[in-house]
Amino acid sequence: MVVIRTVNVSEVEKTVAQLCIEANCSLGIDVIDALNKASSQETSGIGAEIFKQLIENAEIADSEKIPVCQDTGFAIVFLEIGQEVHLTGGDLTEAVNNGVKTGYTEGFLRKSMVRDPLDRANTGDNTPAIIHTQIVPGDNIRITLAPKGGGSENMSSLKMLKPAEGVEGVKAFIIETIRNAGPNPCPPIVVGIGIGGSMEKAALMSKYALTRELGKPSPDAETSRLEQQLLEQINNTGIGPQGLGGKVTALAVHIERFATHIASLPVAVNISCHAYRHKTVVL
């Protein structure tokens, strides 16, 4: 017999608040390792200096609990909710938003959300969060918070290719997007890519790819090869750290793939800056 686990949404709220602060102030060990590794590979003088400063920046932020970047972003929340969980105590969306409000206020994080894209009045507490919910087997709730800066988000792109354009077309579109972005998304970047699905599925996959541990290859051998090829091509553009030239334009490429329609080949490119912020807790 399946036992239903009851979770009060106030647990979710508390966790989200904590994750907002942690994700914004303390980069994960995956990011620090990647910055150190890239720093030793960078041959450009300015580039090497930039890596040194980015590492120092991460250390200051972590030890003083101040945000790594002033743009503490959209609060992007991925919820994976086990189907044996029964949520009580109120509205889940409201709980997540209350968590964001508390985290951004008590953590002295910047409030960057405007209530409407056209009237542009600031909501004052960084809500609403952008929430992606998935129902999965089991009785856990997995909460991932991935603050996402506007500068890199704005350089992201999506295109519906023709199937005949194939893998070469996919690569060309990705490289074109990265070159157009140039220095704007604060390179070194991490590139999240969604190939396949429908338009919105591709976009969502490209975002989800940016919650993966930095540099962890796709479990699929062919996809992992494509990630490596693209990383090499991107790093050959010469854009370099901060667009000031060098070998390391990207720290990693993460690709997610999904089935698609006979007529379609969607590709979404979501660019993250070096402030690759993501924190996960399982309740």
Partner 1 sequence: MARYSLTTPLEDKDIEKLKAGDMVTISGTIFTARDAAHKKLVDLINQEKDLPVNLKGQIIYYAGPAPAKPGYVIGSVGPTTSGRMDSYTVPLLEKGLKGMIGKGSRSKEVKQGLCRHGAVYFAAIGGAAALLSKKVKACKVRAYPELGPEAIYELEVEEFPVYVINDIHGSDLYSQCLNKSSV
Judged by the rule CB under 6 A, the positions of this chain that interact with ligand SF4 are: 69, 71, 73, 149, 151-152, 185-186, 273, 275
Strand order in the sheet with 189-196: 157-161, 265-272, 189-196, 250-258
Kindly report the backbone phi and psi dihedral angles of residue 69, in degrees, each rounded to the nearest multiple of 5, phi listed first: -130, 145
Which of ligand SF4, partner 1, none lies near 87, with the C-beta cut-off 5 to 8 A by kind? none
Of the pair 41, 154, the CB lying nearest ligand SF4 is at 154
Task: Find the shortest distance in angstroms from Cβ 116 to ligand SF4.
Answer: 22
Spatial separation of the C-alpha atoms in residues 137 and 82, rounded to whole Å: 5
CB 92 within 8 A of CB 12: yes
Spatial separation of the C-alpha atoms in residues 128 and 124, rounded to whole Å: 10
Of the pair 46, 167, the CB lying nearest partner 1 is at 46
Q: Work out whether 71 is an interface residue with partner 1 (CB under 8 A).
A: yes
Point out which span in 10-18, 81-89, 251-259, 271-279 binds partner 1 (CB under 8 A): 271-279
The encoded tokens of residue 281 equal 């807790």
Task: Find the shortest distance in angstroms from Cβ 112 to partner 1.
Answer: 7
Point out which span in 13-21, 80-88, 216-224, 242-250 binds partner 1 (CB under 8 A): 242-250
78 DSSP β-pair partners: 132, 144
Rg (CA), the chain: 19
Task: Find the shortest distance in angstroms from Cβ 20 to partner 1.
Answer: 12
CB 275 within 8 A of CB 214: no
Which of partner 1, ligand SF4, none lies near 57, with the C-beta cut-off 5 to 8 A by kind? partner 1
Task: Find the shortest distance in angstroms from Cβ 153 to partner 1.
Answer: 11
Q: Is 92 left (phi over 0), alpha (psi -120 to 50) or beta?
A: alpha
Q: Work out whether 274 is an interface residue with partner 1 (CB under 8 A).
A: yes
Spatial separation of the C-alpha atoms in residues 225 and 276, rounded to whole Å: 22
| Helix boundaries (H) for 91-147 | 92-106
Which of partner 1, ligand SF4, none lies near 266, with the C-beta cut-off 5 to 8 A by kind? none
What length does the chain have? 283
Which of ligand SF4, partner 1, none lies near 124, with the C-beta cut-off 5 to 8 A by kind? partner 1
Binding site for partner 1 (CB under 8 A): 45-46, 50, 53-54, 56-58, 60-61, 64-72, 108-112, 120, 122, 124, 149-151, 154, 175, 179, 182-184, 186, 233, 236-240, 242-246, 273-275
